[in-house]
Structure 1
Amino acid sequence: MKQITAERGEAIAGQAPSARWTLASLSFSMLLPSLGTSIANVGLPSLAQAFNAAFQDVQWIVLAYLLAITTLVVSAGRLGDIVGRKRLLLIGILLFTMASILCGLAPTLWVLVAARAVQGLGAAMMMALTMAFIGETVPKVRIGSAMGLLGTMSAVGTALGPSLGGVLIASFGSPAIFLVNVPLGVLTFALAFRHLPADISGSKTDRARFDIAGTLLLALTLSAYALAMTIGHGRFGPLNAALLLAAAFGIGFFVFAEARTASPLIRLAAFRDPALSASLAMNIFVSTVMMATLVVAPFYLCRTLGLDEAFVGIVMSSGPVISTLSGVPAGRLVDRLDAPFVIVAGLIAMAAGSIALAVLPGIAGYIAAIAILTPGYQLFQAANNTAVMAHVRPDQRGVISGMLNLSRNLGLITGASVMGAVFALASATSDIATARPEAVASGMRITFAVAAALIAVALVVAVAVYRHLPRAERR
């Protein structure tokens, strides 16, 4: 079966037009989930007004979506390995599209929140299985370019969301930020249905069972951790501590359960592979740092540099724009060089960018630092994903892809909470929105000094693991 899958991937890759349409369908499958995240943020003020709700309540529109992705992305990947990736990806696209309609027509806030959770489930399927398909449909020598393309599409979705959302709200009202996903979802479904390779049916005896108990345990554990990191708006209270404790117990129960089931959600033996464990850990560190730029930069640009909100948005858009432009070149570089070499190069660039954010003053200094940090991030992502997915067994591509996406999401959630807390503590103020300019500047310096230290840890991990890895196993 593995041989058949490999031969099928090579045959598909050899047909240039078919391969291009396959990559087009996967690109849209990556674009929609990132657009679904970024476009909703800009609509929160108008949604709060439309539903006559407090801002803390409308934040659940974003949180429900992110929680669904974080808690279900690994399970979605594993289910795709069992029942068929194309089948489940099409279901995910359909769920995302139908939930988008319900979001746009939702009569109450909590119907909207529930619809966003369903939309997040569809997004989890799309994110996990899109990357898994790369390993199946693209030859190894071009996996880096394909991963770079997916990184570009993710950045396009992130960059496009705020501006597109603003235009849609001004022209058609807040429901339009959800309904815009409908034609895009229909197009994505049609492309995927037509151009993705069909699932290969195995015998029922060869098919693994889906680990329902493990899925529930992991979902509850990740929900507890995500809520601990997000509720309280940066203030860590007894409820946060209780949720973190519940997450710690959940990890223990999950490991215990997985070690005793014949068909586990995650094979614990996989973590004995130092390259995989290192990739997941580095992904968390890197995503934590990238989230810090989104959490800290608005306060620095506004409070310290005195920019108005419109100009802050323009300056901050430099990051997604640079990320969009650097994704594909980063992937091509991975194809030409060893993935571990590019991982190290990307981390060095990220460390330099973090230090630059800490020391370079003014708008020009901020943009220059982002211009170093963001291409480094794209280099790391393309190379890290390639290093992992190039050697994954066909029957494990979905779950490993889900784990990569999970590690990224955990880093983003941790970065929003922990790096935000570091910034507040370093600024020596209880209210960042009214802090003195020099206090915010001090917080910026210390936060990105910590960020540089996190990247340095990731760099040490990369060097320690890959220096002993045989060259044949590096990609």
Structure 2
Amino acid sequence: MAVAVQNRDGISAPQQNQSVGWALASLSLATLLSSLGTSIASVGLPSLMQTFGASFRAVQWVVLAYLLAITTLIVSAGRLADMFGRRPLLLGGIALFTSASVLCGVAPTLWLLIAARTVHGFGAALMMALTLAFVAETVSKERTGSAMGLLGAMSAIGTTLGPSLGGLLIAGPGWRAIFLVNVPLGLLTFALAWRALPARSKTAQAAQGKFDAIGTVLLALTLAAYALAMTLGRGHFGALNIGLLAATALGIGLFAVAQKRVKNPLVQLARFRDPQLSASLAMSLIVATVMMATLVVAPFYLSQGLGLDAAMVGVVLSTGPLVSTLSALLAGRLSDRFGTNRMTVAGLTSLAAGTFLLSLALTRLGIVSYVVPITVTCFGYALFQTSNNAAVMSGVGAGERGVISGLLNLSRNLGLITGASLMGAIFAVASAAAQRGIGQEILTSVAAARGMQVTFQTATALVLVALILALLSARAAARIEPSVS
């Protein structure tokens, strides 16, 4: 007679696998919600302009407030979870996100909507910081890559689904529905998380010292200054942007001093002496900067360079997120089988090849000149993102998973913000230079192609820098492993 194998807690293997499955389902839904919260709101901006009689510069804060809230809180959220337990913080984040969705959906004025979106972002920051941290707690080290791949796929699905779902909801019930749709999803996520997530996520640090409030405020203000410097002015730097960057530099210095003086700092600065962690965070920032170029620049290339209409531009642009979604699960399995360091290098190699092909901007090939390169690019991105996340989180102790997860998400967010400004500015300068003397206000095909070329030449150079970091990190890891064994 077969006897069910039990672990030391008295739980049989099938029961344990089922519990892990439900836990991953709740983490996947939390990831989906946070990414959907970004992408679905963007499509509603024209409706918000009409409803509230506001300018684009005013309604864009519906998106910016959400992103700024995530950026400023995400590291602090991870640290709080390390101190007081990840499960209650994640449940609180889901509840906050769901409640804010209701507030957004019933907001009577634009500024109340923006305030509600800020709270929305705080809830999303808690979810984003803690989903990665929970993976290392719920699955074995051998399955970390597959779990990271699943979360990556859900993030890509949220990004892909947002514009199409948002368009359908705006055409039907109206703009309020793009926020209210999160409510039933949030309730389902909360119920699953309450049922499945392990309660033993409280770490030994809970009783050690106080929360670093001064460091938290300094970091939040510094990150907010940088994010505003990169987003205000839409790529045209003026005195305000320079002043905000100066404030950012000052904030970094003050934060570093504060972290050295407190007993329980928000971020252990000594962790950045770990070359592998520092390299992983730097690579994440670089890759996010590069990937943002595909969102900022590609629409201009497709519409003006290739002459596609708006509907066709939307269809072609969906190629990238679709490839990322389909590749993420495969990337997780490859990472588990061949190792995170090898797959990180392989992902960056594919990413470099894809951005190089995009830099050729062969308009004579039509849609193929974009679809083939973006497929190579997004497969490389999925492979890199999954492997890099797995490498970082599998090597972190239980007491630091929250804050390291927050730093990993922060590096990605800062990359997206930097990419939106930097890559957009490079495209604008290059295309304007190519069009100089033509005397047309509408971007010509030649100018759009030239802007595409210069932008992705820059992107390729950045990816090669990340690839060098990955090779150096892999070599250092290879030297450490024999000495440990």
- Shorter-chain TM-score category? over 0.9
The 3-state SS of whatever aligns with 1:172 is: coil
Q: Which residue does 2:241 correspond to in 1?
A: 240
Residue by residue over 1:232-276, the C-alpha shift from the partner in whole angstroms, topping out at 9 and shown as x without a partner, is: 011000100000000000000000000111100000010010000
Q: Is the 8 A contact 2:82 2:399 kept in 1?
A: yes
Partner of 2:107: 106
1:422 pairs with one of 426, 432, 448: 426
Bigger Rg, which one? 2
TM-score, structure 2 length as denominator?
Answer: 0.93
In structure 1, the partner of 2:314 is 313
What is the CA–CA distance in structure 2 between the aligned matches of 1:202 and 1:368, rounded to whole Å?
47
Alignment of 1:78-157 (within 5 A): 78-157=79-158
User: Which among 443, 455, 462 is matched to residue 454 of structure 1?
Assistant: 462
- Which amino acid in structure 1 is aligned with residue 192 of structure 2? L
Give 1:464's aligned amino acid: L
Residue type at the aligned position of 1:20: G
Report SS of the residue matched to 1:259.
Answer: helix
SS of alignment partner, residue 31 of structure 1 = helix
The answer (yes or no) to whether the contact 1:100–1:179 under 8 Å persists in 2 is yes
CA-to-aligned-CA distance 1:102-128 (integer Å, 9 cap, x gap): 000000000000000000000000000
Q: Which runs of 5+ in 1 are unaligned?
A: 1-5
- Corresponding position of 1:443: 451
Q: Which residue of 2 aligns with 1:3?
A: none
Residues 256-405 of structure 1 mapped to structure 2, 5 A cutoff: 256-361=257-362, 362-405=366-409
Cα distance between partner residues in 2 of 1:433 and 1:78? 50
* Counterparts of 1:147 and 1:384, CA distance in 2: 9
Distance 2:266 2:190 in 1: 27
Distance 1:399 1:473 in 2: 25
The answer as to whether partners of 2:84 and 2:206 remain within 8 angstroms in 1 is: no
1:28/1:188 contact within 8 Å kept: yes
- CA offsets per residue over residues 204-259 of structure 1, 9 Å max, x none? 98334211100000000000000000000110001000000000000000000001
Report deviation, 1:434: 2.0
C-alpha separation in 2, matches of 1:473 and 1:123: 37
1:25-40 equivalent positions in 2, closer than 5 A: 25-40=26-41
* 8 Å contact kept, 1:92–1:121: yes
Distance 1:219 1:53 in 2: 28
**Structure 2 counterpart of 1:166:** 167
Cα distance between partner residues in 2 of 1:372 and 1:115: 39
Contact 2:297-2:452 at 8 Å conserved across structures: yes
Given candidates 406, 410, 415, the residue that maps to 1:411 is 415
Q: The residue matched to 2:53 in structure 1 has which SS?
A: coil
Given the superposition, is the C-alpha separation of residues 358 and 7 from structure 1 closer, same or farther in structure 2, using an over 3 Å criterion? farther
Deviation at 1:303, TM superposition (A): 0.8
TM-score (structure 1 length as normaliser): 0.95
Kindly indicate whether the alpha-carbon contact (under 8 Å) linking 2:324 and 2:382 is maintained by their aligned counterparts in 1: yes
Q: Contact conserved, 1:87 with 1:199, CA < 8 A, in 2? A: no
Q: CA deviation at 1:376?
A: 0.3
Which amino acid is the alignment partner of residue 457 of structure 2? A
Displacement of 1:360 in angstroms is 4.7
Note the aligned Cα RMSD (angstroms). 2.1
Aligned to 1:223: 224
Equivalent position of 1:16 in the other structure: 17
| Residues 1:304 and 1:7: Cα distance change in structure 2 (over 3 Å) | farther
